[in-house]
Amino acid sequence: MTSPDIETFVAEARAWLASVAAPRTQRPWGEGSDAVAVFENWTAEEERAETDRIRAYEQARFDAGFGAVTWPVEYGGRALPTSYLLAFRRVEAEYDVPRRTEMFPVTQQLIAPTIAQWGTEQQRSTYVRAMLRTDLIACQLFSETEAGSDLAAVRTRAVRDGDGWVLDGHKVWTSGARVADYGLAITRTDPAVAKHAGLTAFLVPMDAPGVVVRPIRQMTGGSSFNEVYLDGVRLDDAHRLGPEGQGWKVALTVLASERLDSGSLGLENADQAIELARNLGRPLTELERDRVADLVTRSYVQRLTGMRVAAAVVAGRDAGPEASVGKLLATDTMARTSEVVRTLLGPDLTVESDRWGAWAWTEHVLGAPGYRIAGGTDEIQHNILAERVLGLPREPR
Q: Which of 47, 258, 322, 363 is catalytic?
A: 258
Question: Minimal CA–CA distance to 244: which of 204, 205, 199, 203?
Answer: 199
Q: Exposed (0-12), middle (13-18) or buried (19+): which is 353, by Cβ within 10 Å? A: exposed
Q: Exposed (0-12), middle (13-18) or buried (19+): which is 337, by Cβ within 10 Å? A: buried
Q: Which residues contact 106 (CB under 8 A, 6 or more apart)?
A: 138, 139, 140, 175, 176
Active site residue 258: yes
User: 322-345 vs 247-260: helix axis angle to the nearest 10?
Assistant: 50
Question: Minimal CA–CA distance to 310: which of 13, 83, 9, 111?
Answer: 83
Active-site positions?
258
